[in-house]
Amino acid sequence: MEWFLSTEDWYKLVFNEGYAAGRVAFALIIFAMLTEVIAYRIQKKAYPWEEAGVSVALMSGHLLAGAAVHGIVFGIIAFGVYHYRLFTLTVDMNHWYMGVLLFVLCDFAYYVMHRASHSVNFLWGSHAVHHSAQRMIVLASIRLTWTPLISGVFLFYLPLVWLGFTPQWVYGMVSASLAYQFSVHTELVPRLGWLEYIIDTPSNHRVHHGTNDIYINKNFGGILMIWDHIFGTYQAELADNKAQFGLIPALPRPSNVFDIAFGQYRKIAKGLINAPSWKARLNVFFGPPQ
């Protein structure tokens, strides 16, 4: 696809394809939520409806914000980068191995992005929204930022576009990874034996969301856990150390969607104003979460 798209092409990309993908994602979310609610009832546990409602409200804001910046991300940035690509890398039935390569590269890019989102205060400002969930239920997976453009997530995949994979394939693969991650946000599934060392599982992801000292900044993988093993960030869930969830420090109003969506950025703004020097301001911005 060339840099400049016709009106018809834009409509098809942004609305038709996006709407179709959205319907599939919505169906998956509803199915997973109903399955989890039934499982809670069978086990005679109280389902955290308030937590679920907050997640739905946050997702609604994320969809509105995403719709507002979709054209900027894909039109100006992604297709702009693709216009200056190094190669033209084709993914289809005759080049299936390129699809495998793209999957691995996207999964690695996700690991880098995810780890950076926990290491850089400004990026954490957006990602903290996802970690605000105090219970690990399927709907915790849709607690997403209202500031997608400044979250910087899409930037980590642009090298793959510049390399020569089309933006549709790159961000489609990313979307598939996120769809898989619906399934790992639950407290109901126990450890899954040897699979724990290969792929992201509910157990591995509970560790990632855990605020226990031993669990903090662990298990950043999206689908594969190989990157966590390579870079020393893997931690298995411990039977005698049940994961606790939420933010540290806890939000004063953990069910207020505006506090969740903008609370970390308010802290960053306050830190920038009160910082005694420009060096200190840079640390507030680029340093670790505070």
Q: Is residue 233 part of a domain?
A: yes
pLDDT tens sequence across 226-255: 999 999 999 999 999 999 999 998 888 888
Q: What is the pLDDT of residue 28?
A: 77
Q: Is residue 246 part of a domain?
A: yes
Q: Is residue 2 part of a domain?
A: no
* Other Cβ atoms closer than 10 A to 11: 12
Q: What is the pLDDT of residue 23?
A: 64
Q: Is residue 171 part of a domain?
A: yes
pLDDT tens sequence across 30-87: 888 898 999 999 998 999 999 999 999 999 998 888 777 776 777 777 778 888 999 9
Phi, psi (deg, nearest 5) at residue 199: -125, 165
* CA distance linking residue 75 with residue 73, whole number of Å: 6
- When pLDDT is averaged across residues 261-280 and rounded to a whole number, the result is 94
Mean pLDDT of the chain: 89
Report the number of distinct structural domains present in the chain. 1
Top-confidence residue, 10 or 140: 140
Q: Residue 20: is its pLDDT beyond 60?
A: no
pLDDT tens sequence across 153-180: 889 999 999 999 998 899 889 988 988 9
pLDDT tens sequence across 96-107: 999 999 999 999
* CA distance linking residue 189 with residue 131, whole number of Å: 19
Q: Is residue 1 part of a domain?
A: no
Share of the chain above pLDDT 70, in %: 90
The reported pTM is 0.90
Q: Is residue 73 part of a domain?
A: yes
Q: What is the pLDDT of residue 29?
A: 78
* Other Cβ atoms closer than 10 A to 159: 15
Our measurement of the distance from residue 38's CA atom to the centroid of its chain's CA atoms, rounded to an integer in Å, reads 26
Q: Residue 290: is its pLDDT beyond 90?
A: no
Q: Is residue 128 part of a domain?
A: yes
Residues 198/225, Cβ–Cβ less than 8 Å: yes
User: Which of 32, 13, 60 is CA-nearest to residue 257?
Assistant: 60
Domain range for residue 45? 7-286
